[in-house]
Structure 1
């Protein structure tokens, strides 16, 4: 497909970039005679998102031309996957033509469902990135209404040639490490693994961990089968001390990205809190998705669709945390568990979730994943729910006690291993263990929401995604890579 003329601004910069960043590793993947398409610049709109549980406002902070060309697939600039709480649209101001769109979610959207949001206002830094247009555009942020339809929340006009657009920045001494390079960025999904809480003397440790996590991601379907559709880069800025902050235990460390535990009062929830620092570090590498490894052994992580995900890199459960949280960030997968305490207040209504792996099952005949359901499957689908919940309640009580007493992390890890072993034994006796159906208990709720299969990486600490989650992940891979290159 030929590129739209309004996006063609930078010649063959992607090839020079790939050779500079990936060296021989990527040079070997590109035929010498290959004619490569032009790559536009990358433009980033940084804005403030403020409000409370019932009110929200937006305000432009700045517009930045990032140092590297747009890494994305210019044949798929419009998002048709219907994922995310929000949707960004970039519209040509003169013609009204939709140039670019992507679904995403935000930390603000999560915070506004917490008790704090009912009592106070807060502001969050956010960003949207898109290929630099040739002319003035309108950037629109849409959000879902009570019927899950996207409606306009905010819009702003943006002239890419305006004098206040930031075009030059201080050169960075940091260079991304090529972990897995399969080809030119426009043809591939670019995953950037960032490190936080690693000192200058721990950079080799970070690189080794990033390589191990990437290998583990691509050992799980459907990433295993689609590994050649990905490039993976790694990048970390050294910190003065090892690890990131855990305020609930009195541990506070300086962090380049503001990454910390105890987000929204949850001891295991880890997010980066400095969006500008995150974007200024990430812009030194080609990326569409970001996973942040924190140099801690305490179980924890987090994931925001279209923003980033985090994982405790030294935990015994690092592989699970990395892949589970990446499922949120990459594909907008819902949490399917419901017995662990959540930071969100339950809704009084059960609307159909936008996430592809959870349903309110209001219309069983038109179940969103019905193409995977065998004829005659009961909906809802039976599973040993009562026995699972009784054991899980006991596990959660033990978990709270271990954290309250600040017991060694090895004891928490042993508890999780016992829990998983019990689940494996329990589910092995269930007739519908491999069935795709509608199993009640998902989306942090014991009743009213349903998941596709009994077990999945989004439900427990097992090692595989269910059939529906695999399909949802593949859809996003298709959006960002070029099928003709496979």
Structure 2
């Protein structure tokens, strides 16, 4: 694309954002520590090249989602100016064996509308009771001499995949691409259009498509594909996406926050999903940060929506069939912050009590024993396919057969459509409960349960509607 076309496209984006919008300030951090401690340090403060795309009517996040929350505060009056909940890659790494024996740091960013004067930025994290408690704060002066105010020229122009209106009244979803070579840029656009078209067939996105703008942006890599170290596959990558994150072969993230932020700043965005050019099943999602999906996987549609559910709405995984899921559960559980799982069986305290099916028993019965017996056998089949390094098509066929078996098992069950509390969720077989028997956060089904739909709509409202009365 020529410079003239890039400048013209960016000018169109600016005009669509509205002249009254402030600039966008980004604070890049290092978040480090180990299993016992954590610390923060400012890396840099950046003025992004596009105006703030967010909803001016909802600067304060009242969703109570995320492992962390950051707040922007007027130090003179104590007034809260802006806040958002989010989760962190550091927080996930902190639960690994590596964190018990070494320190490590990860890049993070906090984005908010440009303040008029110096502000206090405070980060809170969940304590042992899952309540937010302050862990770090600093002051940020937007007029400081070391604030970076000039961005590198845009390497490409964003593509408008789905346009509904000015950014401040819409959820701006930005699809970044990684692993696409120079002769695959049209493929990236086609992948983006295909996956977005599918997203808007799934409720509640189907009904709320008019509340979204969707953009796509990528720059080419020298060789097609992304790294998968477990198969000795290594590729130079624009955004740093790779498989085998934290030793999990299908978990795909980027740990290079600066790389994707530097590209993303050239498009309006509230939320980012990265499409990476691979047919191998994989992806990941971190609430309030980004999510990823293998664009050529046979299960790309499911992965796109499932991982977006994590990233956009903070939905918990409801599945629990990893090997540790069958270990003895602790005697007590802390109530999760995620909206779609619970440790409470008291109908008066249940998060989704207003959605409860009348007279549904708690816990709600389902064919749990049969499901777990099948999954033990299926996990053994998966392990053998991995060990033998069988073609991806065989793993995909196993997933297809697995889903067909589960749907047949659930069909006709007395509580199949009930909203209750079904034991088995949040990676554990006992002690945690999900709202319905079936949901795409539980298996590779095609629909969210009603509670997950409500949770997604709450976040759509946060970015596109006026404040709650």
TM-score (norm 2): 0.95
1:479 to 433, 458, 462: 462
Question: In the aligned structure 2, how far is the partner of 1:180 from the partner of 1:431?
Answer: 41
**CA offsets, 1:72-110, max 9 Å, x none?**
001100000100000000001222110000000000011
1-side partners of 2:350 and 2:230: how far apart?
42
State the match for 1:307 in structure 2. 289
CA contact (8 A) 1:21 1:175 kept: no
1:278 aligned onto 2:270: no
Post-superposition offset of 1:462 = 0.4
Equivalent of 1:394, from 356, 373, 377? 377
What does residue range 31-430 of structure 1 map to in structure 2 within 5 Å? 38-340=20-322, 348=330, 349-361=332-344, 363-430=346-413
Any idea what SS the aligned residue of 1:411 has?
helix
Which residue of structure 1 aligns with residue 426 of structure 2? 443
Give 3-state SS (helix, strand or coil) of 2:241's partner.
coil
Deviations 1:226-261 (A, max 9, x none): 000000000011111111100000001111111100
In the alignment of these two chains, the number of paired residues is 458
Q: C-alpha displacement at 1:483, in angstroms?
A: 5.4
Distance 1:408 1:232 in 2: 34
Q: Structure 2, unaligned stretches of length 5 or more?
A: 1-7
Query: Aligned-pair RMSD on alpha carbons?
Result: 1.9
2: CA distance between counterparts of 1:144 and 1:350? 15
TM-score, L = length of structure 1 = 0.91
How far does residue 17 in structure 1 lie from its aligned partner after superposition?
A: 7.7
**Contact 2:161/2:214, CA 8 A, preserved across alignment:** yes
Once residues 412 and 328 of structure 2 are traced to their aligned partners in structure 1, the CA distance between those partners, rounded to angstroms, is 32
Answer whether contact 1:148 1:354 (CA < 8 A) is retained: yes
Give the C-alpha shift of residue 22 in structure 1.
Answer: 9.4
Q: Per the alignment, in what secondary structure is the counterpart of residue 291 of structure 1?
A: strand
Is the partner of 1:214 in helix, strand or coil? helix
Which SS does the other structure have where 2:410 is aligned?
helix
SS, match of residue 183 in structure 2 = helix
Tell whether the 8 Å contact from 1:21 to 1:178 is kept in structure 2 after alignment.
Answer: no
- Aligned partners of 1:323, 1:174: CA distance in 2, in Å? 26
* Cα distance per residue 1:1-46 (max 9 Å; x no partner): xxxxxxxxxxxxxxx98762499xx7xxx9xxxxx56100000000
Contact kept? 1:18, 1:184, Cα under 8 Å: no
Unaligned segments of structure 1, at least 5 residues: 1-15, 31-35
In 1, distance between residues paired with 2:106 and 2:137?
Answer: 17
- The question of whether the paired residues in 1 share the 8 Å contact of 2:329 and 2:430 is answered with no
* Contact in 2 for aligned 1:436/1:452 (Cα 8 Å): yes
Deviation at 1:341, TM superposition (A): 5.1
In the superposition, relative to structure 1, how do residues 483 and 97 fare at CA in structure 2: closer, same or farther (>3 Å)? closer
Cα distance in 1 for residues equivalent to 2:158 and 2:263:
10
Provide the C-alpha distance between the structure 1 equivalents of 2:223 and 2:464, rounded to a whole number of angstroms. 38
